[in-house]
Chains A and B, each alone.
Chain A
Amino acid sequence: MKTTVVEVAGVSKSFKIHYERHQSLKERLLHPRTGHSEDFSALKDISFTMEEGETVGIIGHNGSGKSTLLKCICGVLQPTSGEIRLRGSLAALLELGAGFQLELSGRDNVYLYGTMLGFSKKRVDQIFDDIVAFSEIEHFIDTPVKFYSSGMYVRLAFAVAVNVNPDILVVDEVLAVGDERFQAKCIDRIRFFQEEGRAILLVTHSADQIRALASRAIVLESGLMIANGNVADSLRIFREHLLGDTPSNEINEHQSGDVHIDSLTTPTGSFDVQSGASMHFDVHVTSATAYSGNFVMEIFTRGGVLVSRSDPQSSPINLRPGHNTIGIDLPNIPLLDGVFDINVGVVDPRGSNVKAWGEKVATMQVTYGGREGGLVELDASIRQL
C-alpha cells in the first residue's frame, strides 16, 4: 500500500494587507488609528493528499496562491486554519541559497544549509562529496560564498537540497535557474527521484513543465483549488478558466465567452498515418458571435514532450456566428512511430488570452518503417568526404 506523505486538510491562509505601514514606535503613537489593514484570503479551504512516488504539479498564475500553499507545506508559513500533515523528511527549493551566510565558505554553508533543511551532520558528511561533485565547484568550496557568481551560488544550494535525498521534494520554479546544461541535470535528478519513488511537489506556471514531469496536477485560482486530477484534464481547466478573457471565480459555467471547440476529425475518420505521408484535419468550432482571432495547434508525445506548436500569428481566423470548420494540413509528417496527442485552441489576436481550448482533442498514431530513431526523421545524408 502506498503511504500518504502529504495531507493538506482544509487549509486557509489570510494575510493582513497594510495600506500604511507603521512600524516604528513614533508612527504608531502618532497614528494609532490610521494604517488600517484589510484581510486578504490567499488560500481558501484547500484539501488534497499526495502519496509516495507521486509527482504533483501545482499550476496557477501569479497571485493564485500557489506559492503561499507551498510555503505552508514547507512550514515557512502557518496556515490560518486547517492542518498539514507530513510524513518523512522534506526539502524545499523555495529560493535557492536563502540560508547561505555570505561570509562563510561553501563548505560551512553546505553544513549550515543541510542542518537548516533538517538533516543531521552525519548525513551531510556522507553526501558531502556528492554535493560538491553535483554543484561542480570543487575548486571554490573553501572560498566564502560572497565571491561566488550567482550561478555557482544557486548550483551549490540546489546540490545540497537534492543530495540530502528527502522523502518529499518541493520545487518552486527554480528550474529556471542555471544554464541549460545544469537545468537538464536538475530535470534528470528529478526524474531519478521519481524512479526511486519519492514524492515531488512541483510549482510552476509553465504547462510544459507540468506535462513533462507531473503525474497529477492541481490548479489554483484566487486561492481556490479548481482542479485536482490527471494532467490533461487539469491543464484543460487551467487553459479554459485561467487564461480566459475574464479571470473568474466561477468554476464550472463560464466557458470563457462564446467560442467552443467541438471536435477534430479527419476526412477518412482514421488517425493512423504513415511517417512521411500527409494528413488533413478538420476542426469544428462553434462561435456565438463573429470573432477574429488566431488558431494554434500543439502536438505532444505520450510522455508529455512538446513536439511542435504552430505559430498563432501566422494563422488568423475569422469565425462566423454558428458552426465553423478550420482545416489543418500536415504535409510530409516527419514523426517517427508513436502515439501523439493533439491540442488545438483559439487565442485572441494578441496571443495572450485563450478564447477556447481543446486539450487532447484527438490522438494520432504514426507508423514508421525506416531505421532512424528518436522523434523525427531528419533524413540526414552522411558520407565520407
Chain B
Amino acid sequence: MDNATSSEAVHEGLAHAPVRVMSARVKLGTRLVNLYSRRELWRNLVISDIRIKYKGSALGLLWSMLNPAFTLGIYYLVFSVVLKNGYPNYVIFLFSGLIVWNMFQNSVFSATGVIVDRAGLVKKVSFPREILPLANVGSAMIYFFIQLVVLVIFLFVFHHAPEWNMLAILPITFLSLCLFAAAVSMVMSAFTVYMRDMKHLMEVLLQLWFWLSPVVYSYSNSLATQLATYHLKFLYFMNPMALVVLTFQRAFYVNTEVHQTTGTHPLIHMLPVWAPSSFLLLNLAMLAVMATLFLIALVIFGRLEGNFESEL
C-alpha cells in the first residue's frame, strides 16, 4: 500500500471535502443529489437482485423470457382459441401490452416488501433507502428489455411491421413508465413497513389493475367506451398504464381498425384512431405528470423513512 502518499492526499482533500448534513428532514434536492451520487450502488443492487433470483436455476435468465411466454401462451389459448375474439395477430397485440404491464408489476410487486425483507440492512447500514425499491425497478427494466427482444423476434416471425414514427415516441413512454413504477414502488415499500398487509393487498390490487388496463382486450372493448357515453373518458386515462399500454400497442400492433374474422360486426376499432402527433402530446403531458409524481413519492418516502428503524 502506498500509505504515505494516499494518506497525504486524503488529508489535503479533507479540508475541502463536501459537508454532509444529517437532520430530521432531508430536502428534496439533497435527496436527488444523494440518489445520483449512489448510482453505482443502484447498479450493483440491480445486478445482485438478478443474480440471486436466478441463482441455482438451470435455465437462469432464460426464465425471464419463458415466464411471460407461458402467460402469453395461456392468454392466447383462452382468448383467441377458446373465446375466439377474432383479433388478427393477437400474439403481437397481447405481447406489446404485456411487456409493459410486466415491467410495472415486476417492479411494484418485488418492491412492496423490499424494505421489510432487508430490515437487517436498513437498520445497520447507511445509504439512501429509496435505492432498494428503485433497484427492483431497475431489474424489472432489464427483464423488460429482454422481453422486448422477444417481441422484435415475433415481429419478424409474423412479418408484422411496426409504425415507425410511433416508435420514436416510445422512449418518452418508457421513461414515464419507469417514473410511475418507481413512484408506486417507493411509496408501497415504505407503507409496507407500517402495515404489513400491503403485500397481500397489492397482490389483489395488481390483478384488478391488470384487468382494468387494456392489455388482453382491445381499447374498443374497454371501460373507456362506456365512460365516453357519459363524457367521462378522462377517468379512464387517470390510470397511467392505459396510455402506456395503448402507445405500445399502437407502435407495435399498429392496426387501429380491423376486419374481424368472426363475430357479427365485421369492422371494429381496436385502438384509438388518434394521430401520432396526439400520442406525442399526450405522452409528453404524461411524462410531466409522472416526473411530478416521482418527486412527490420521494417526499412521501422521506417522511416515512424516519421511523423505519423503530418499526422494523
| A residues whose Cβ falls under 8 Å from a Cβ of B | 3, 5, 15-16, 23-26, 28, 52, 71-90, 92, 94-95, 98-99, 101, 103-104, 108, 111-112, 115-118, 120-121, 130, 165, 167, 196-198
CB within 8 A of B195: which of A25, A74, A104?
A: A25
- Do A103 and B40 form a contact, CB below 8 Å, given A75-B22, A197-B11? no
Contact with A along B40-56 (1 / 0, CB 8 A): 11001100100110010
* Nearest CB of A to B50, in Å: 11
Is B10 a contact partner of A167 (Cβ separation < 8 A)?
A: yes
Q: A89 vs B307: C-alpha distance in the bound complex, in angstroms?
A: 25
* Nearest CB of B to A162, in Å: 12
B160 touches A (CB below 8 Å): no
In the complex, chain B residues whose CB is within 8 Å of the CB of A198: 7, 10
Is A84 a contact partner of B197 (Cβ separation < 8 A)?
A: no
Is B11 a contact partner of A52 (Cβ separation < 8 A)?
A: yes
Is A87 a contact partner of B14 (Cβ separation < 8 A)?
A: yes
B6 touches A (CB below 8 Å): yes
B207 touches A (CB below 8 Å): no
Q: A79 vs B17: C-alpha distance in the bound complex, in angstroms?
A: 23
Smallest CB gap from A26: residue in B: B197
Interface size class of B (residues with CB under 8 A): 35 or more
Q: A225 vs B296: C-alpha distance in the bound complex, in angstroms?
A: 38
Q: A130 vs B120: C-alpha distance in the bound complex, in angstroms?
A: 27
B84 touches A (CB below 8 Å): no
> Which 4 residue pairs are nearest across A and B when measured between Cβ atoms?
A75-B126, A98-B124, A25-B197, A84-B22
In the complex, chain A residues whose CB is within 8 Å of the CB of B278: none
Interface contacts (Cβ under 8 Å), in number, total 128
- Do A112 and B14 form a contact, CB below 8 Å, given A71-B309, A84-B21, A104-B51? no
| B residues whose Cβ falls under 8 Å from a Cβ of A | 1, 3, 6-7, 10-11, 14-15, 17-24, 26, 38, 40-41, 44-45, 48, 51-52, 55, 120-127, 194-197, 201, 305-307, 309-311
Is A103 a contact partner of B309 (Cβ separation < 8 A)?
A: no
* Nearest CB of A to B249, in Å: 36
In the complex, chain A residues whose CB is within 8 Å of the CB of B45: 112
Is A84 a contact partner of B23 (Cβ separation < 8 A)?
A: yes
Q: A56 vs B21: C-alpha distance in the bound complex, in angstroms?
A: 20
CB within 8 A of A24: which of B6, B20, B195?
A: B195
Is A85 a contact partner of B126 (Cβ separation < 8 A)?
A: no
Is B51 a contact partner of A108 (Cβ separation < 8 A)?
A: yes
- Do A101 and B22 form a contact, CB below 8 Å, given A75-B126, A77-B309, A118-B38? no
In the complex, chain A residues whose CB is within 8 Å of the CB of B3: 196
CB within 8 A of A95: which of B10, B55, B124, B305?
A: B124
CB within 8 A of B52: which of A72, A81, A95, A101?
A: A101
In the complex, chain B residues whose CB is within 8 Å of the CB of A75: 20, 22, 126
Smallest CB gap from A105: residue in B: B51
Is A196 a contact partner of B7 (Cβ separation < 8 A)?
A: yes
Is A76 a contact partner of B14 (Cβ separation < 8 A)?
A: no
CB within 8 A of A76: which of B11, B40, B52, B126?
A: B126
Q: A280 vs B309: C-alpha distance in the bound complex, in angstroms?
A: 55
* Nearest CB of B to A52, in Å: 6
CB within 8 A of A94: which of B21, B40, B48, B124?
A: B124
Is B52 a contact partner of A116 (Cβ separation < 8 A)?
A: no
